[in-house]
Structure 1
Amino acid sequence: MSATEPATTEIATEPATEAAGFADAQWRRATGAGVDPHEYRRVTGGLGSVADWGPSFRRTGRAYVARAADAGSAVTAGESLLMAARWYHLATLAPYAQAHHAAAEADEAMGRALAVLEPGARRVRGEGFTGWLRGPADAPGTVVVVPGLDSAKEEFLGLASALLARGLAVFAMDGPGQGALTATTVVQADYDRVVGRVVDALGVPRIGLVGLSLGGYYAARTAALDPRVAAVATVSGPFRLDWEQLPQPVRDILAQRAGGTGPARAFTRQVDLAALAPRIEAPLLVVDGGQDVIPGATNGEPLARHAPHAAYLSVPHGDHLLGNAQPDWLPHVADHLTNTLT
């Protein structure tokens, strides 16, 4: 064996090792979004580098679209399209030049799925938002599901299903810098203005809000500023962000979604609920994972402490978004919103 062979082998395996580490870091989030864990391992096990992530996940999404075309029933076709939407969305989690195309494919697949499975679902669009209103027209309450920094409406289909099963209507949305709007908009700290336009478009007198990850900040901010919010829940939402302490990957995502490092810094400075928390009059449930430790992000406990009508649920083994602990929090969130709204 020559002296150069070990070095060559090391260089060759380094990108694959990095890809494996990235896949491990995203595993709970992906399975929490509803993809099969075994299929996830098969897809990510073949990655030669992180650069292969987006193309591989889009290929998996296309395979589900093909299954839908060959399906023996409308239900199978719709379910396959919903799974395609999940894979397309997950394709956007790694740096990828075509991520906006994957986001558009996720949006299209979800729309096609709902056309088959829920013909009554209604597309609702407006300035800075797009999404799907699902559920009975005479529902006793409507919940708006707010995604986070790099998430989208296709990631939280399980949460939407739990709310729908309790008789509520659900509006799953993409807002500025999210999902289908990634290519044309940037993140917006005053997201409450967007949710206000959503409520106007839905034509309902009051809503429930559930925000996930950065969406938790958006939801809490909106609840403090818009009296039409009658119930609110946050899951892994930040109370405060500190740019200098945030990990570099998070900074990179923020810069990408904000349109540059300068706007990302300015955005981060506005993510602080200290002055807003006492103004939240709606019943609030704050959910944190005990294993959710991101430098530069203060978790939700101070929000629950300072809001006047708040309950705090910490799941010790839960990670960010608690994809590894859904039975420990999802029914509580769904019941909290349902009981408060009805």
Structure 2
Amino acid sequence: MNPTEFAAAQWTRATGAGVDPHEYRRVTDGLTSVTDWGPSFRATGRAYLQRAEDAGSPLSAGEYLLTAARWFHLATLAPYAEAPRAAVEADHALSRAFAVLEPGARRVSGDGFTGWLRGPADGRGTVVVVPGLDSAKEEFLDLASALLARGLAVFAMDGPGQGVLAAATSLRPDYERVVGRVVDALGVARVGIVGLSLGGYFAARTAALEPRVAAVATVSGPFRLDWEELPPPVRDIMIRRAGGADAARDFAHHVDLAGLAPRIAAPLLVVDGGRDVIPGVTNGASLARLAPLGGYLSVPHGDHLLGNARPDWLPHLGDHMARTLTATPA
């Protein structure tokens, strides 16, 4: 894939993550090869670090640091030897941003996870945000903002094979064990969980197997994967994140929610984009149909992660989580 095609494929994902669309165009228009992606995006991130140093107020510095975190994370989306370093830079920039903007935010880490707990200690509930195959906690800051605005606390995490943990850990299908340790560490009785892309599988699986999940939503999550039909770029990412071709193939074979969906007792919202058609990936309509309390929202013009259709689903998802977590437990 040439750099123009690659940039076009990442366009709504990048802008949905919160980078300025005009700056994205300026950065990607200057690429001569996909191999330039990582260095160019890291350079943009470093420019925002310098802006933070030169800022005239703590607020401006914090906002620049959040933007730096986004650019550093996006640097990891193309094959790049320094991608692990970019993930660390994203993590550090996010940490510095919260120290300035939200001094009450708390870093929580444990076996197989790390992330940030934000929002009120006495809020309406706590939501765990789970990233996907090559996403990370830095990518979904707008989702966190929507949940925070509804009075919820939010724990945005990196799990095995994700974000800052990708260099030292590998993807694992039994993500419910990781979330169980997250809930223990947070010290709450019940949580909501939102999973995006492959994180949608993790969230649905967790909701089926972890009884403390009281609300769940998936965005562009797979119901089933067929390894043989997956496009080579997706397989390549999975091989890197799972720790080898055999491990990736085995992981993909585990991604099948047919047997687990009927066990999801919590209210479930499944969000799909009508233009999200990836070979080898079965979208979420079957998950919504098989789950006892499943609801389905399909946005016809939405692409993968629906970065091109945020008003069509993000408020709905935020309301679903807030309404469900506020309800009195049965």
**TM bucket, shorter chain:** over 0.9
Structure 1 gap segments, 5+ residues each: 1-16
| Residue number among 144, 151, 165 corresponding to 2:149 in the alignment | 165
Deviations 1:232-285, CA, capped at 9 Å, x for gaps: 000000000000000000000000001110000000000000000000000000
Does structure 1 residue 272 correspond to structure 2 residue 256?
Answer: yes
Deviations 1:197-242, CA, capped at 9 Å, x for gaps: 0000000000000000000000000000011000000000000000
- State how far apart, in whole Å, the 1-side matches of 2:172 and 2:322 are: 28
| Residue number among 235, 255, 258 corresponding to 2:242 in the alignment | 258
Q: For residue 326 of structure 1, what is the aligned residue in structure 2?
A: 310
- What's the % identity of the aligned pairs? 77
Does structure 1 residue 135 correspond to structure 2 residue 126?
Answer: no
Question: What is the CA-CA distance between 1:292 and the residue it aligns to?
Answer: 0.1
Q: For residue 67 of structure 1, what is the aligned residue in structure 2?
A: 51
- State how far apart, in whole Å, the 2-side matches of 1:333 and 1:73 are: 34
- State how far apart, in whole Å, the 2-side matches of 1:165 and 1:69 are: 29
| Residue number among 61, 71, 83 corresponding to 1:87 in the alignment | 71
TM-score (norm 2): 0.98
- State how far apart, in whole Å, the 2-side matches of 1:51 and 1:316 are: 33
Q: For residue 181 of structure 2, what is the aligned residue in structure 1?
A: 197
Q: For residue 7 of structure 1, what is the aligned residue in structure 2?
A: none
| 3-state secondary structure, aligned to 1:288 | strand
Q: How does 1:16-55 map to 2 (within 5 A)?
A: 18-55=2-39
| 3-state secondary structure, aligned to 1:186 | coil
- State how far apart, in whole Å, the 1-side matches of 2:289 and 2:54 are: 53
| 3-state secondary structure, aligned to 2:169 | coil
TM-score (norm 1): 0.95
| 3-state secondary structure, aligned to 1:131 | strand
Question: What is the CA-CA distance between 1:140 and the residue it aligns to?
Answer: 1.7
Higher Cα radius of gyration: 1
What letter is aligned with 1:299? N
- State how far apart, in whole Å, the 1-side matches of 2:278 and 2:70 are: 25
- State how far apart, in whole Å, the 2-side matches of 1:123 and 1:241 are: 33
| 3-state secondary structure, aligned to 1:303 | helix
Q: How does 1:152-301 map to 2 (within 5 A)?
A: 152-301=136-285
Question: What is the CA-CA distance between 1:137 and the residue it aligns to?
Answer: 1.0
Structure 2 gap segments, 5+ residues each: none
| 3-state secondary structure, aligned to 2:195 | strand
- State how far apart, in whole Å, the 1-side matches of 2:67 and 2:309 are: 21
Task: Number of aligned residue pairs: give it.
Answer: 326
